[in-house]
Copies of this chain bind each other. A is one copy, B any other.
């Protein structure tokens, strides 16, 4: 099924800078692409565009497509996701407006931009590009399970959208600052936009999921680290297949569990409690040992964005003591994060 889509995600060269499109999103967790681009590639973002009813902002200036183009933007990036990755009817007028203003459109949804006739025709008429970054490379092989050289770290989570990409980016940056050779390996739309390449793991056919993860982090020098962006959660009733294929194919030496204290329900799935940290540690060890018997938990990454500094420090200290593992919020950094980095590299 992959054969018709010959575009290799890691050969994309995206038009820049971006106007970030947030649609009419009211849930912050769904805006992780826009928020991630603002934080990790601010030099590529000139502003944002929202629709009536939106309740999420990146804090960047509100610009129309015409204004954004005048300020140098060359692409509108759909910076928001929703369950199923559909592009709703209500967004389409804005996307057409962007094409008319001179912008290309970049998206990583399951709905492909070129499958929407209105966009396909407008883009063709005006000579604009519709770039779908959620298209896996052709000819992904079945995983072999062969142990690869080099070291690997994978971020995993108690839910979706709580900091697995952030944590991987922050760890890769910290490794580099310490002079440790490393690469951030992107597995989702935002990460691919930031890194300029990677593997859209959730768009890969299930039979090749672990094989895609093997492709993403090839043999490397013995002391080199691939820091791999996790996806979903082994405990998520919709997305665990993605998480397990990524875990098996990544063969991580170290994993870091990402968690948001205070979140109770899983994103997009009514009635499911967020998994406990212990459950994720246990499942990751039990399943991950299959392809790397030496897998270990390097520590925990907490998303404490909903807490003040004192509350955050208290919950991280308490959980670190309870679990006997380093706990840090990579956004806050500090000595706790240094300790997490130490533990991962130990």
Contact = CB atoms under 8 A, between A and B. Distances in A.
Interface of A: 1, 3-5, 83-85, 110-112, 115, 141-146, 201-207, 209-211, 234-235, 237-242, 244-245, 248-249, 268-272, 282-283, 286-287, 290-291
Contacts of A111: 3
14 contacts: A1-B112, A145-B272, A204-B205, A207-B239, A207-B242, A210-B237, A237-B290, A237-B291, A238-B248, A240-B248, A241-B242, A241-B244, A241-B248, A272-B290
Contacts of A237: 143-145, 210, 248-249, 290-291
Nearest to A251: B237
A207 B83 CA distance: 10
A118 B11 CA distance: 31
Contacts of A209: 206, 241-242
Nearest to A211: B238
Nearest to A232: B207
A111 B235 CA distance: 32
Contact of A142 (B4, B83, B141, B240): B83
Contact of A206 (B142, B241, B272): B241
Contacts of A244: 234, 240-241, 244
Nearest to A144: B269
A234 B287 contact: yes
Q: Most B CB atoms within 10 A — which of A142, A211, A234, A241?
A: A241
Nearest to A249: B237
A39 to B, nearest CB: 24
A67 to B, nearest CB: 34
Nearest to A2: B110
Given A143-B237, A240-B245, A245-B241, A207 B211 contact: no
B206 A238 contact: no
Given A145-B272, A269-B145, A206 B3 contact: no
A115 B203 CA distance: 21
A251 to B, nearest CB: 9
Given A234-B287, A241-B245, A204 B203 contact: no
Contacts of A3: 111-112, 115
